[in-house]
Amino acid sequence: MRAPDNPVLVKGDVLLAVEGVSLGFGGVKALTDVSFDIKKGEIRAIIGPNGAGKTSMLNCINGFYHPTEGRITFKGKTRPRMRPYEAARGGIARTFQNVALFKGMSTLDNIMAGRSLKMKSSFFWQLLRYGPAMNEEVQHRRVVEDIIDFLEIQHIRKIPVGKLPYGLQKRVELGRALAMEPELLLLDEPMAGMNLEEKGDMSRFILDVNQQFGTTIALIEHDMGVVMDLSDRVVVLEYGRKIADGRPDEVKRDQRVIDAYLGVAH
């Protein structure tokens, strides 16, 4: 539980602003005129019933989709068409709803892959794996080992991640995102398919990341208990529209949110 006087009330700078974003696929409207912002240092939850457009929103933020209307401003800069690797370069990392890992590679290599952008040595030195390339490899390996310790996954360092159970794969995926040292971390259902104990661990990691590294986090989650405990502010989407936005306890009492989740008597 977070004390109410945490960043919620302290006005952080706006890290990312979504303004009037709409997204359509042919005739289907996934998002309609959605606006909200994410402030630096907060944990922002995006919730809503299935098909509400939560993942589409995340995909827009990190450049997998391009909004048909509206704009997204990140760190004060608006880019009309952002490619995913540009988003990554700008400091946006993410995890996926149904884990997207490099299944043939070990845990260590997966997390090292998250350092790709931080490594700068030239093609030539890499070919020799000597000089700058070697120093760089060692230096980044140290960061990765810290992340591995932090997530308590030392015992699976060398195992190809395809062989790991689902809960651990989710943790490796979080590790890979952390390796990018992101300013904004997008988590798409980080606790889906987990048991109670794994959910507890994951919640702890998310809070630790937020508090120790000051990383801003936007997460999609279905488990209401988790959302209410973790997040500072919540956006609620339904059928691609925003129906509520505010502190968890406010959102919980909102009649439209209750209707969206429980249905309305006609």
Partner 1 sequence: MAESAAPALRKPGLDAKLTRRLVAAGGIIALLVALVAAVQSGAIGRGNVLYDVLVDPFVLMVQAPDLLVQTLWEGFVAGVLYALIALGFVLIFKASGVFNFAQGIMVVFAALSLVGLYEILTVRMGLPSGTVAALLALVGAVGVMFGLAWLVERVVLRPLVNQNEIIMLMATVGLTYFLIGFGEWVFGGNPKVMITQELGLPTGSSQFDILGGRVNVQHLDVAAALIAIVMIAVLGFFFQYTRIGRALRAVADSHKAALSVGISLNQIWVIVWFAAGVVALVTGIMWGARSDVSFALEIIALKALPVLILGGFTSIPGAIVGGLIIGFGEKIAEFYWGPLLGGGIETWFAYVIALAFLLFRPQGLFGEKIIERI
Which residues contribute to the site for partner 1 (CB under 8 A)?
62, 64, 83-85, 88-89, 93-94, 96, 100-105, 109, 112-117, 119, 121, 123, 126-127, 129, 133, 136-137, 162, 166, 176-177, 179-180
CB 112 → partner 1: shortest distance, Å? Answer: 6
The amino acid that residue 70 corresponds to is: G
- Residue 214 has which token pair? 């000051």
User: Closer to partner 1 at the Cβ: 11 or 81?
Assistant: 81
User: Closer to partner 1 at the Cβ: 8 or 101?
Assistant: 101
When computed from its CA atoms, the radius of gyration of the chain, rounded to whole angstroms, is 19
User: Closer to partner 1 at the Cβ: 6 or 106?
Assistant: 106
The β-bridge relationship of strands 77-78 and 69-74 is antiparallel
How many Å apart are CA 243 and CA 62, to the nearest integer?
23
User: Closer to partner 1 at the Cβ: 103 or 256?
Assistant: 103
How many Å apart are CA 19 and CA 16, to the nearest integer?
10
CA 150 to chain centre: 18
**Greatest CA separation for the chain:** 72
142 phi and psi, to 5 degrees? Answer: -65, -45
User: Closer to partner 1 at the Cβ: 134 or 224?
Assistant: 134
How many Å apart are CA 103 and CA 19, to the nearest integer?
37
Beta bridge partners of 154: none
CB 32 → partner 1: shortest distance, Å? Answer: 25
User: Closer to partner 1 at the Cβ: 22 or 121?
Assistant: 121
CB 187 → partner 1: shortest distance, Å? Answer: 12
User: Closer to partner 1 at the Cβ: 37 or 173?
Assistant: 173
CB 188 → partner 1: shortest distance, Å? Answer: 10
97 phi and psi, to 5 degrees? Answer: -60, -55
CB 55 → partner 1: shortest distance, Å? Answer: 12
CB 53 → partner 1: shortest distance, Å? Answer: 19
CB 87 → partner 1: shortest distance, Å? Answer: 8
The amino acid that residue 112 corresponds to is: M
Contact of 202 with 170, CB cutoff 8 Å: yes
